[in-house]
Each structure stands twice: as C-alpha cells, then as structure tokens.
Chain A
C-alpha cells in the first residue's frame, strides 16, 4: 500500500469522475473547510540550483472533510476542480481507516497504474525523438 503522501499525489492527478467511478458511493462525511480555490506561488531557482525566485502563481483547490469517527481527510490539487478536491479529501480520510487497504486496492492502485502508464508512454514517445548520431566513414 502507498504511503499517505503517495496516495495524496495520485488523487491530486485524478479527475472527480475517475475517482468516483472507482470508489462508488461514498460514506457520510462532513465538510470542515472548502472546497475553496486560491493561488499557490510557484518558485524556481536561479540557474536551476541557486537563489529561489517567484515564478508566478497557479490556481489550486483544497478541501478538508471529517468522517463520523473524526478522521480528517485533506484534498489538495492544482486547478479549480472543487468537486475533485472534495472527493479526494474523503478518500484521504477513508484510506487512513481500518478499510484503508481495500480502498487503496479499489481506487488508488488502478489510478496510480494509469498515471504511471501515461508517464511511460510520454517517455517512450520522447525517446523515439532522441537523435542517434551516425559517424560517416572515411573513404580511402
């Protein structure tokens, strides 16, 4: 089973429909904060390694929910999809509970696999555009 930062990262990259279709109906929960959209300032480093600078802001959406047993779940993602942030927060709470492994196998594992496959496909496409230099033989 993935660690909490890992499943949060997987959920942040999945749409509300993707999570919802795998999870099915969600148990009751209470919204504690949001879902709300705001900004996060992205930063870079001079020369890729030096002094930190502000690159520009990105929209982000966050949500906090509580299960009836008091477990808190947090959803954070880039963009403005409030519904997705809320569903992710509920999943985060469920994954911490006794049924966590089952939720993980049903929702997080297939999402993680799909995300990995998409990344690998992109990487294979990039590799197909890698230059293979050939050296011209000299004629004597």
Chain B
C-alpha cells in the first residue's frame, strides 16, 4: 500500500526563520559582513573556496556567512552556485615557478637560490592564546620591508632533476585532461584525475590519509623539498583575440614532497615527487595532498599497495566532502516507509525464530 504524505511546510518555514535569527546571533553586536570574513577569516574562506572548487573569495566568504561558519555546508553552497554559471574556457596551466611567492621554504636545502622566505606564517609562534586580540583597535606596526625585493626562486625539484636523481615529470601532450566535474571517475585513474580529486578533496580526510602514510600505512619517508605560497598569473586565450592574455592572479599553495624510490628493472633508484597544489593559502592540505599523491603512485612504480592511502578507489571515492555529506546526511530524510517494511520483516523473522526455539525445547524435553 502506498500512502502519500504531505505536510511540514509550516514547520520548515518556521525552522528557517529561526535559523536566520540564530545566524545573526546577538543583535546587540554588529552584524559581520562577507567582506570582513574575506579579510579576517581568510584561511577559512580559502578552505571553502578550495573544497567548493570555485575560486572566488567573495562568494566563499558569503557562503561561510550563510552557513554560520560550517565549512562543508559553505563548500556545498559554492558548488551549487557554480552549477548556475557557464564555463567560458580553460586557462593555460599555471606557471608556479613564476609565482610571486610571499613564502617559500625548503627542508632539504638550507642555502638555495631565492632563499628561505618565511612570509606571514604561524610557524615559530608559541601557540599561546593572545588575549590582546580580544580587544579591538590595537596598534598594528607596519610589516618590515627590505630595500631589495626577493630574487628569482627556481623550483627545488629542478636541482635534483638536473642531477638525474629526481624522477622526471613528463608533460603529456594531446587532449584536455580528464575532468571529474563532467564525467565520473573511472579506474584505474590517471594521475591528472587523481590530482583534480585531491585538490578539491576534504582537508581533514587528506590530512588523516597523509598522516597514515607517515605512520607506516604506506611506508613513506618524505622530505619537503619545497613549499611555496603566493600569486600566480591566470592566462587565457580567448578565440576573439587569438593571443594569450593575463586576466588576474590567484593565490595558490604548492608543495613538492621528495620520497625515495628503490628503483625497478627499468628505473634507477631515485627520488620521486608527490605533488600538492591547492587554491588559496593552505599548507596543511598541500602537504597532505603531496603525501597522498605519492602514495597513490604505488601501482605505477610497481610498489606493493597495501595501505588505504595507496588504494585509489578508496581515496578518490571518499575524499569529496560534498558527496560524502550528501550521502551521510540523507539518512536524516524521512525513511518512514523503508523502516516500516524492515520492521514488518523483522517481526515475522522474530516470530519464526521464537516458534523454532519453542519447538527445539520441546524436542529436547521429550
């Protein structure tokens, strides 16, 4: 029997009105603006932008305001908005070597061309709560400036590649890279497909997986060959112009992680690189992405793949937090009919089980 059920409209409406109030919080305090979030909650905004896979800091800030600070909900909102826009064209690959880096460090070379540039980092802070921030309007000394700017910063992995000690990255020519926003992933997945999935994947999921490779689930002994954060130019070549133009800059975080590879019959022992590239400033995720990227190369390198981080189906099909939250949270939706049928089934099984038990007891007694 099918019973159509309708209702709840008024309840939903009332719930949403209350939600708007809860979002606003104490009205004695000034309302926060999306622009304030963009400027002062910059890293939360960057995370939403990366996982929403839509680079627009204003939209990400608005999504964060709407979601009351729930990063996954905000990423969901951004993805939904993105679906309403047409795609003009793909940009040329970002040239991260030409980045205007505000931060660039290497854990493998102390003295390297361009130097170790710390930039505005939390590293080396004491992680003590700063109660001065609880007050408003504290004086802010201007950042220091050197007389000269930074010099060119060649990519560290290039030094090792020059010596033949770093597995070379071969630019594959021909055809657009696979795009999982257009077609679902197929397996075995190519490295470009894996990198796309990781770049938009959930930070916490990737961090846990990356950590697992360090703790022995995947046997990684990585070095941060280089980590850089800064602005890169976006170049497109519109057909109406017929030449490439620079349409602005985006902030990205790049991590090159070097891991030893024992070599195979065809390839000599050398370093391999795990690669992380994340829209916005997010070193933790760039590093985690590089660890997981390297772990996922196990099949190509002929290594034994035994750990979760090396299983591309496991990683790629569970890294997207918008998909994951959709499937987990759909359990909240009414399953009344499903549950009733399960309940009926269970009752009948239970009746049979009890009847059999009584019969068995009787038999034993006889």
Residues of A within 8 A of B89 (CB): 40-41
When the two chains form their complex, are residues A57 and B245 in contact, meaning their CB atoms are under 8 A apart?
A: no
Does A38 sit at the interface, judged by CB under 8 A?
A: yes
Does A1 sit at the interface, judged by CB under 8 A?
A: no
Once A12-B245, A51-B177, A133-B111 are accepted as A-B contacts, the answer to whether A46 and B56 lie under 8 Å apart by CB is no
Residues of A within 8 A of B164 (CB): none
When the two chains form their complex, are residues B248 and A129 in contact, meaning their CB atoms are under 8 A apart?
A: no
Interface string of A32-62 (1 = CB under 8 A from B): 0000111111111111111111111111101
Chain B interface residue count: which class? 35 or more
A130 to B110, CA, bound (A): 12
When the two chains form their complex, are residues A55 and B245 in contact, meaning their CB atoms are under 8 A apart?
A: no
A41 to B234, CA, bound (A): 10
Interface string of B272-298 (1 = CB under 8 A from A): 010101010000000000000000000
Does B115 sit at the interface, judged by CB under 8 A?
A: yes
When the two chains form their complex, are residues B91 and A46 in contact, meaning their CB atoms are under 8 A apart?
A: no
When the two chains form their complex, are residues A57 and B53 in contact, meaning their CB atoms are under 8 A apart?
A: yes
Interface string of B140-175 (1 = CB under 8 A from A): 000111111110000101100000000011111000
When the two chains form their complex, are residues A51 and B169 in contact, meaning their CB atoms are under 8 A apart?
A: yes
Residues of A within 8 A of B (CB): 4-5, 8-9, 12-13, 36-60, 62, 64, 72, 74, 76-80, 119-131, 133
A121 to B115, CA, bound (A): 18
Tell me the minimal C-beta distance from A34 to chain B in angstroms: 10
When the two chains form their complex, are residues A76 and B91 in contact, meaning their CB atoms are under 8 A apart?
A: no
When the two chains form their complex, are residues B90 and A126 in contact, meaning their CB atoms are under 8 A apart?
A: no
Tell me the minimal C-beta distance from A10 to chain B in angstroms: 9
Once A76-B247, A122-B102 are accepted as A-B contacts, the answer to whether A127 and B146 lie under 8 Å apart by CB is yes
| Contact residue among B88, B120, B168, B244 (Cβ-Cβ distance under 8 Å from A38) | B88
Nearest to B274 among chain A residues (CB) is A47
When the two chains form their complex, are residues B193 and A40 in contact, meaning their CB atoms are under 8 A apart?
A: no
Tell me the minimal C-beta distance from A54 to chain B in angstroms: 5
When the two chains form their complex, are residues B245 and A47 in contact, meaning their CB atoms are under 8 A apart?
A: no
A79 to B243, CA, bound (A): 21
When the two chains form their complex, are residues A122 and B100 in contact, meaning their CB atoms are under 8 A apart?
A: yes
Does B269 sit at the interface, judged by CB under 8 A?
A: no
When the two chains form their complex, are residues A49 and B169 in contact, meaning their CB atoms are under 8 A apart?
A: yes
| Contact residue among A49, A50, A77, A126 (Cβ-Cβ distance under 8 Å from B150) | A126
Nearest to B244 among chain A residues (CB) is A5
30 residue pairs from A and B, CB less than 8 Å apart: A12-B245, A13-B248, A39-B88, A41-B87, A42-B91, A43-B93, A44-B93, A44-B96, A44-B195, A47-B157, A47-B169, A48-B254, A49-B97, A51-B177, A53-B191, A53-B195, A53-B196, A58-B54, A59-B54, A59-B55, A62-B238, A72-B240, A74-B238, A77-B247, A120-B149, A125-B145, A126-B102, A126-B119, A130-B115, A130-B150
When the two chains form their complex, are residues A40 and B245 in contact, meaning their CB atoms are under 8 A apart?
A: no
Residues of B within 8 A of A (CB): 50, 53-56, 58-59, 82, 85-94, 96-97, 100-103, 110-111, 115-120, 143-150, 155, 157-158, 168-172, 177-181, 190-193, 195-196, 199-200, 234, 236, 238, 240-241, 243-250, 252, 254, 256, 273, 275, 277, 279
Residues of B within 8 A of A56 (CB): 50, 53-55, 196, 199-200, 279
When the two chains form their complex, are residues B275 and A47 in contact, meaning their CB atoms are under 8 A apart?
A: yes
Tell me the minimal C-beta distance from B34 to chain A in angstroms: 13
A119 to B249, CA, bound (A): 12
| Contact residue among B93, B169, B250 (Cβ-Cβ distance under 8 Å from A78) | B250
Residues of A within 8 A of B110 (CB): 133
Tell me the minimal C-beta distance from B328 to chain A in angstroms: 23
Tell me the minimal C-beta distance from A102 to chain B in angstroms: 23
A20 to B338, CA, bound (A): 62
A131 to B149, CA, bound (A): 14
Nearest to A44 among chain B residues (CB) is B277
When the two chains form their complex, are residues B177 and A43 in contact, meaning their CB atoms are under 8 A apart?
A: yes
Most chain B CB within a 10 A radius of its CB, from A9, A51, A53: A53
| Contact residue among A9, A37, A38, A131 (Cβ-Cβ distance under 8 Å from B245) | A9
Beyond A55-B196, A56-B196, A122-B100, 12 additional pairs, beta carbon < 8 A: A5-B245, A42-B90, A48-B254, A50-B171, A51-B169, A51-B170, A54-B196, A59-B55, A59-B85, A72-B240, A76-B238, A126-B102
